[in-house]
Structure 1
Amino acid sequence: MPDTARARRWPLATALLLLGSVGIAAAWILLADTRGAQSSWMAVIAALDAAWLLRLARARPGAVRAIAGTAATLLAIVIANWGIVASQLARPMGMVPWESALKLGPHHAWTLASLANSSVDLAWLAAGLVIAAVLSR
């Protein structure tokens, strides 16, 4: 297959990865809100989803695909943690979670996410990134 045909697959792969990251993060936020816990094991699900989407888009195997899968997983982790913090802040302030998410600053989100994630949660997040790198290549 010519390189131009392979190059045309990356816009599809990028769109799928963005949509997948946002979708898995939304599911993660809802699960964490329902369970009242961080549910950091969802990082592994996000990694599996990213690897599957890259294969679905027929992205060329290699380092670029591994980086793309890892970046998509990292994006899902960031969005999910932002959303979990925002939903926890929204209740006492009388807001809906998306209002809180828009008003939440990065420093405040980082501080609250750091306090909410235990060492086990951080291990799950790291495992998700490693799994994404391995399965996406």
Structure 2
Amino acid sequence: MTSVKPAHPAPSRTSHWLWPPLLLIGAATAVVAWATLALGTGRQHGWIALAAALQAAWLLRVGGMPGGWPRRLLAATTALAVSGTAQWLIAAGHIGGQMGLPAWLAAPKMGASYVCTLSLLANTRLDLLCLALAPLLALRMAR
């Protein structure tokens, strides 16, 4: 008996368009959660950079982005962007709070070198280590 192949193969259930909105929503949520936690507790919480790196790699996989170097580099870039944006908002929240401004209104008024100086002063060695390891973790996990 010969096997009969269908004329049209079954459609693939993977959606390759889902990763951009997932990544954007996940990154924005991570930044807001990180900044809120840091401003509420008065600590930097650098470990969240590692969680954001894992989240970026996972969302790209779940969203259907094909594996390889583009996915790995996008995950690492997202981890860097989340870390940088969160550090910027945390610094803006502290400085803006002293001037009566919310973080989102103080953030555009701050320069990059000022934010870098404030972040280096506020982060502990463990926080800085976590910030440095986050893109490497994202590269590894987004294979």
TM-score by structure 1 length? 0.87
Given candidates 15, 19, 24, the residue that maps to 1:18 is 24
Identity of aligned pairs, percent? 35
What does residue 83 of structure 1 align with?
89
Q: Tell me, yes or no, if structure 1 residue 52 matches structure 2 residue 61.
A: no
CA contact (8 A) 1:43 1:125 kept: yes
CA contact (8 A) 1:43 1:77 kept: yes
What does residue 113 of structure 1 align with?
119
Secondary structure at the counterpart of residue 66 of structure 2: coil
CA contact (8 A) 1:21 1:46 kept: yes
What amino acid is the match of 1:89? I
TM-score by structure 2 length? 0.83
Indicate the structure (1 or 2) with the bigger Cα radius of gyration.
2
Structure 1 Cα separation of the partners of residues 21 and 78 of structure 2 = 11
Structure 1 residue runs of 4+, over 3 Å off? Answer: none
CA contact (8 A) 2:18 2:64 kept: no
* Unpaired segments ≥5 residues, structure 1: none
Query: Could you list the per-position Cα deviations for residues 103-137 of structure 1 after superposition, in whole angstroms to 9, with x for gaps in the alignment?
Result: 11212112211221222111111222221111111
Structure 2 Cα separation of the partners of residues 21 and 74 of structure 1 = 10
What does residue 131 of structure 2 align with?
125
- The Cα RMSD (Å) is 1.7
Given candidates 60, 63, 76, the residue that maps to 1:70 is 76
Given candidates 35, 38, 50, the residue that maps to 1:29 is 35
Structure 2 Cα separation of the partners of residues 88 and 131 of structure 1 = 29
Structure 1 Cα separation of the partners of residues 117 and 20 of structure 2 = 30
User: Structure 1 stretch 115-124 or stretch 32-41: which is displaced more?
Assistant: 115-124
